[in-house]
Structure 1
Amino acid sequence: MTRARETGPTRRVWRGAGLRWDLPEDPRDLDHLLVDARGAAMKLTEFLASAETDAILVAHRGKIVYERYFHGMRPHDVHLSASVAKSWTGLLAALLIDEGMLDADRPLAHYAPELGGTAFGDASIHHLLHMGTVMNYGGRPFYKPLEAQRYFAAVGIVPRPAGYTGPTSVKEHLATAQAVAPPGTEFRYDNGNTEAVAEALRRVTGVSLAELWSERVWARLGADEDGAYCLDSTGTEIACGRYSATLRDLARVGEMLRRGGTVGDRQIVPERVVADLANVPPGPARRALPTGAVRPIGYHNFWWVPDDGHGTFGARGIHGQRLQVSPGRALVIAHYGSHVMSPSVPVPPLEAVFAQIGDHLAG
């Protein structure tokens, strides 16, 4: 999880030439906080060990109150954020929609004509941003875990089997998607939706996703380190889940959003764009069910929205990658993990524990 830049091609996301944004610290002893993890009471440190946490940072009212690193990870190390990266693409899309550069009601094929006639090409940007494309690949029945592995093979994340003759890039993969129902009739979480939106962003701006994310957010954030996107065989960023950053830089994105898009006296993201992130539109995205969840939550512009009364929205990735922003609790939690995904290993209830941390800090 911390070696992506050493195991394959990546593209730098420049941190910019500005000064680092230092978040003040107000350490709190949360190690011994008792939390309820699906009926089992344990100390927070015990829960983090069971969740295979690599690093966690809790910021409350703009101050870092808790920060821990495990498994050899250090503050300056970058870590894969998995599908947390989807939310970066969603935020960029929301920015360009707000500016009128991207039309949410137009189909992807308007921006990428070569994908016309495919499930993603014929879906609107709005439907893509809400995982509303109801598709299969190559005529196969859709089964999410298997299709995720096929996608990883296509873009080179995992080894391809002997005799493999399938797609070998992001765009080739997208071209194999066939619609099986009209867009917007079902919530179907799939990496292709994010890759499709990322392609639209490249077309309307004329720059790579890495350059766009740096220009609009990363280089204006006061980040500690450069970020990095992993690339496919054609040099295209893997937008859906191969972004690496330090823990503090992940938290900086969250704190910027909690503050309504500001860093100091600079408006990085318009406040109206941030406020809209928790406004899930009518439709199937109001009943999204992430892995390990016990009840549906909302999904908007590639952000998860639990409707918990605190205006919370968050980014989630496999193996325990999380960024939770809870304006009503004045809370931001960034979390990296290496939790095993297996039918025999329950997904750690990270969000439930984060809520308990927030309640404790609120007193």
Structure 2
Amino acid sequence: MPHTAPLSELKWTRGYSDPDWIRRFTSAGRELSPSRRVWRGREQRRELPGRDAGIDTVEITAPDGRTLKLPELFAAAQTDALLVLHRGTVVHETYLHGTRPETAHFNASAAKSYLGLLAATLAHQGELDRDARTSAYVPELAETAFGAARIDDLLHMGTRMSYAGRAFDKAIEAQRYQAVIAPQMWPYGYQGPTSIREHLSTARATGAPGTAFRYENGNVEALAEVLRRVTGLTTSALLSELIWSRLGADEDAYYVLDSEGVEAACGGFSATARDVARLGEMLRCGGAVGGRQVVPEAVATTIVSGVPDGYARRVRFPAAPPDSPANLSYHDLWWVLNDPYGSFMASGIHGQRLFVSPRLDLVIVHFGSQVMSPSVPPAPLVPAFLQIGTHLDGLG
């Protein structure tokens, strides 16, 4: 009699390889998991003016020499939304595959950068000590890989660990983390942790903190717990209070929750493209919205200039092929491009990007449902963003 795989096993295996299945998760998270809103506040919606800048005609040269126009880029990236702001004006806006301007789309690991903003703001205000050990704020983490790490180590992915005695593998650990917060993603026979807290408790150090860069979700979840202890607020309430309610957002955002009602801070955040663009525009403008500071100017302007010497500098972007040049830095959970334009970005799996380039007066939001497979080359999103930016800059 042929073996029929349980539904949970089928979901596990196709989770990263079927764009329609990916899109189900990226656009309908509230229907699949418990969630908590990030309140938009009582402020009046802030308008985004618009004009057509003819971006559809721009020819994009990919690193492999191919030339693409936007429809071809959208096909390669399984694009759900692209929004381009130039000098605060919407010059391009596209929605595909049923995504709409009001759709709260999964941001994936781009959410790490938003938490980095919260931590950097609290540190600037003197409420968080970057040099303090994590265990000083969360004693329960003392015996884990995160306990001896400084807050600054968490902000720069500076821990080394293994979970539950497994040899560390980035892709496997990413899927295991997804299983913690989404039971429908459990592989057959799963008996692992069922909450973020339980997951973190299984992490054991395999090296001293602060000595190497390793991109790992646990750093962000440990940091999120620190911020909850410092402020007494949920992650959703903290993001609303410090940032989201002050942007003039169209919509509430939301986080998905684990079985204990804790936000998946490292990747469970969803919001509309327009509201994420508002966040990016605030950063492009030195942390201000309409002349009022939302985050301290020093926090916004040091995302690029504040990268510590010798720490997480010239790291390799996770999706880059092994032979590509390692030309990125990482600071306070943001990717720094080290380009002539002061560009930085929040980046998430399947093509989620918030790209900010102050010297090009540029903010780009991309939402996607791109397949993650060695047989499917990544879409050249960042080269496309920069070429769009230089095109707009040339128009004056």
Return the TM-score normalized by structure 2: 0.90
Q: What corresponds to 1:143 in structure 2?
A: 169
- 2:251 aligns to what SS in structure 1? coil
Measure how far apart 1:70 and its partner are: 0.8
Counterpart AA for 2:340: G
**Structure 2 matches for 1:1-363, cutoff 5 A?**
1-38=26-63, 39-156=65-182, 158-278=184-304, 279-293=306-320, 294-296=324-326, 297-363=328-394
For residues 295 and 102 of structure 1, the distance between their equivalents in structure 2, rounded to whole angstroms, comes to 35
For residues 258 and 72 of structure 1, the distance between their equivalents in structure 2, rounded to whole angstroms, comes to 30
For residues 164 and 122 of structure 1, the distance between their equivalents in structure 2, rounded to whole angstroms, comes to 30
Counterpart AA for 2:46: W
For residues 180 and 2 of structure 1, the distance between their equivalents in structure 2, rounded to whole angstroms, comes to 37
Measure how far apart 1:10 and its partner are: 0.2
For residues 169 and 42 of structure 1, the distance between their equivalents in structure 2, rounded to whole angstroms, comes to 43
- 1:335 aligns to what SS in structure 2? strand
- 1:272 aligns to what SS in structure 2? helix
Contact 1:128 1:194 in 2 (8 A): yes
Contact 1:291 1:347 in 2 (8 A): no
Counterpart AA for 2:389: G
Quickly say closer, same or farther: Cα 1:157–1:323, change in 2 above 3 A.
farther
Contact 2:159 2:210 in 1 (8 A): yes
For residues 266 and 380 of structure 2, the distance between their equivalents in structure 1, rounded to whole angstroms, comes to 23
For residues 177 and 184 of structure 2, the distance between their equivalents in structure 1, rounded to whole angstroms, comes to 9
Return the TM-score normalized by structure 1: 0.98
Quickly say closer, same or farther: Cα 1:157–1:191, change in 2 above 3 A.
farther
For residues 201 and 96 of structure 1, the distance between their equivalents in structure 2, rounded to whole angstroms, comes to 9
For residues 218 and 134 of structure 2, the distance between their equivalents in structure 1, rounded to whole angstroms, comes to 12
Measure how far apart 1:284 and its partner are: 4.1
Paired residues, number: 363
* 1:217-259 C-alpha deviation (Å, 9 max, x unpaired): 0011100000000000000000000111011001000001000
Quickly say closer, same or farther: Cα 1:316–1:158, change in 2 above 3 A.
farther
Measure how far apart 1:158 and its partner are: 4.4
Measure how far apart 1:185 and its partner are: 1.4
For residues 180 and 149 of structure 2, the distance between their equivalents in structure 1, rounded to whole angstroms, comes to 22
Counterpart AA for 2:331: H
Contact 2:53 2:392 in 1 (8 A): no
- 2:270 aligns to what SS in structure 1? strand
Moved more, 30-39 or 203-212: 30-39
Measure how far apart 1:47 and its partner are: 1.4
- 1:358 aligns to what SS in structure 2? helix
Contact 1:81 1:244 in 2 (8 A): yes
Q: Identity percentage over the alignment?
A: 55
* 1:8-58 C-alpha deviation (Å, 9 max, x unpaired): 100011001111111211211111211112310121221122211100011
Quickly say closer, same or farther: Cα 1:125–1:157, change in 2 above 3 A.
farther
Gapped runs of 5+ residues in structure 1? none
For residues 113 and 79 of structure 1, the distance between their equivalents in structure 2, rounded to whole angstroms, comes to 35
Measure how far apart 1:121 and its partner are: 1.5
For residues 132 and 208 of structure 1, the distance between their equivalents in structure 2, rounded to whole angstroms, comes to 25
* 1:76-125 C-alpha deviation (Å, 9 max, x unpaired): 11100000100111000000000111111111111100110211121111
Contact 1:8 1:230 in 2 (8 A): yes
Quickly say closer, same or farther: Cα 1:314–1:157, change in 2 above 3 A.
farther
Measure how far apart 1:341 and its partner are: 0.4
For residues 258 and 218 of structure 1, the distance between their equivalents in structure 2, rounded to whole angstroms, comes to 16
- 1:334 aligns to what SS in structure 2? strand
Counterpart AA for 2:332: N
Gapped runs of 5+ residues in structure 2? 1-25
- 2:93 aligns to what SS in structure 1? strand
